[in-house]
Structure 1
Amino acid sequence: MARETRGLVQGGRSGRAEEWLDPEAPGEDQPEADFAPDATLVGGIPEGLTPEGVAERSELASYLGRAVYPAYRDQIIDRLVENNAPTRLVTVVRDLPADAQYENAGSIAQALGLGHEEQRF
């Protein structure tokens, strides 16, 4: 069934045959529907991290991927350059010790002083 509905889910357009069957957007006098009206749906910040630290770690991880680990500083820099990471990320990683091995983005973030999660689950 997932294969049969794939085009509808990933198509980026309505799956309805008739345009009049599509749901309408709320009117000017109607509020937007929100699952969490008093909060954002971005997610929480784990203990031991700051919002900026989470964003920096996330950006770093997005340019590194999973295949690079375990890695040393020079391997991490090579991967960042290969994936066209911003110069500021490459510059920050150059300050890491060359002889330390990093197991994941969390260990890199901790070495950079961005903090680390006290308890993940």
Structure 2
Amino acid sequence: MERGSSKHAPRVDEQMSQEVSGLVQGPGTGGSRVDESRVPEPAGEDQPEATTAPAGELRSGAPKGMSSRDVEERSRLGRFITMAALPGDREMLVANALANDAPDDVVAGLRGLPPDTVYQTVSEVWAALGNKNETTRW
């Protein structure tokens, strides 16, 4: 018994299978595209190659007043200080960071904080460590 679709005539099934065969079978069977319009054109001789990640600070998405490195480092700090530690003082932050397996440099930074200050957010801790937060937008 021949397998086929009960929704189309066998001729239509064959035509539909030919239309998608290039996509289904892949590049090893004579081409990965069904028609020429799907083949991407190469860059011109005087055009740079396209990239998915343009370089430079102007396109990093970092907020005003911070570099992309600052954002990454503040995020790294925040991974080791959970909401259970906030608001909290130096001892609570250090204990929470140790419980979350923070690296030595993070724990050392937290141990250098003033002992009697209570921090409400990771951004406050980040600023107390001598770093800059984003500037307020008005």
With structure 1 as the length reference, what TM-score do the two structures score?
A: 0.63
Structure 1 residues 26-105: aligned runs within 5 Å? 38=54, 44-105=61-122
CA RMSD of aligned residues (A): 3.3
**Higher CA-based Rg:** 2
Q: Alignment length, in residue pairs? A: 97
Match in the other structure for 1:8: none
- Give secondary structure in 1 for the equivalent of 2:92: helix
Cα gap change, 1:21 to 1:60, in 2 (>3 Å): farther
Task: List, as ranges, runs of 4+ consecutive aligned residues in structure 1 with deviation greater than 4 Å.
Answer: none
Kindly provide the CA deviation profile for residues 62-101 of structure 1, in whole angstroms up to 9, marking residues without a partner as x.
Answer: 1112222101011000011001010110001111101011
With structure 2 as the length reference, what TM-score do the two structures score?
A: 0.56
Kindly provide the CA deviation profile for residues 4-62 of structure 1, in whole angstroms up to 9, marking residues without a partner as x.
Answer: xxxxxxxxxxxxxxxx499x8xx9x979x97x66469x951112223332121100101
The code of the aligned residue for 2:99 comes to: E
The code of the aligned residue for 1:56 comes to: E
CA contact (8 A) 1:46 1:120 kept: no
- Give secondary structure in 1 for the equivalent of 2:130: coil
Can you give the 5+ residue segments of structure 2 that lack an aligned partner in the other structure? 1-23, 27-31, 33-38, 44-49
Higher-RCO chain (CA-CA 8 Å, sequence separation at least 6)? 1
The code of the aligned residue for 1:78 comes to: A
Q: Which has the higher helix share?
A: 2
CA contact (8 A) 1:49 1:114 kept: no
- Give secondary structure in 2 for the equivalent of 1:90: helix
The code of the aligned residue for 1:96 comes to: L
User: Percentage identity across aligned positions?
Assistant: 28
